[in-house]
Amino acid sequence: MRIINILPGRPLALFLALLPFAAVFIAYAIGSELRLAENPADKLLPAPSTVWDTAVRLVTQPDRRSGDILFWQDTWASLKRLGLGVGISALVGMIFGLAIGLLPLVRSCLAQFVAVLSMIPPLALLPILFIVFGLGELSKVVLIVVGTLPFLIRDLSQRVLEIPQELIVKAQTLGASSWVIAMRVALPQLMPRLILAVRLSLGPAWLFLIAAEAIASDAGLGYRIFLVRRYLAMDVILTYVIWITLLAFAIDWVLRWASRRFFPWAEQGL
Which CB, 180 or 250, lies closer to another protein?
A: 180
**Closer CB to another protein, 111 or 191, in the complex:** 191
For residue 230, give the DSSP letter: G
Question: CA–CA separation, 32 vs 44, rounded Å?
Answer: 8
* Region label for 269, one of left (φ > 0), alpha (ψ between -120 and 50) or beta (otherwise): left
Q: Please, what is the Cα angle at 269 between 268 and 270, to 5 degrees?
A: 100
**Chain-centre distance for alpha carbon 87:** 11
Q: Is 268 helix (H, G, I), strand (E, B) or coil?
A: coil
Nearest distance, CB of residue 152 and another protein, angstroms:
20
CB of 90 to another protein, least distance (A): 19
**Element holding 150 (H helix, E strand):** helix 137-162
Nearer Cβ to another protein, position 109 or 180?
Answer: 180
Kindly tell me which of 181 and 202 has the beta carbon lying closer to another protein: 181
Whether 156 and 94 have beta carbons less than 8 Å apart is answered as: yes
Least separation in angstroms between residue 109's CB and another protein is 21
Q: How far is the CB of 185 from another protein (least distance, A)?
A: 7
Indicate the SS3 state at residue 212. Answer: helix
Q: Could you tell me the smallest distance in angstroms from the CB atom of residue 259 to another protein? A: 13
Q: Helices 137-162 and 122-133, interaxial angle, to 10°?
A: 130
Nearer to another protein, 126 or 195 (CB): 195
Residues that bind another protein (CB under 8 A): 164, 166-167, 169-177, 179-180, 183-185, 188-189, 263-267
CB neighbour list of residue 70: distance below 8 Å, 6 or more residues apart: 58, 63, 219, 224
The SS3 of residue 8 is: coil
Closer residue to another protein, CB minimum distance, 56 or 167 = 167
d(CA 152, CA 86) in angstroms, rounded, equals 10
Distance separating alpha carbons of residues 15 and 22, to the nearest angstrom: 10
- The residue among 43 and 184 lying less far from another protein, judged by its C-beta, is 184
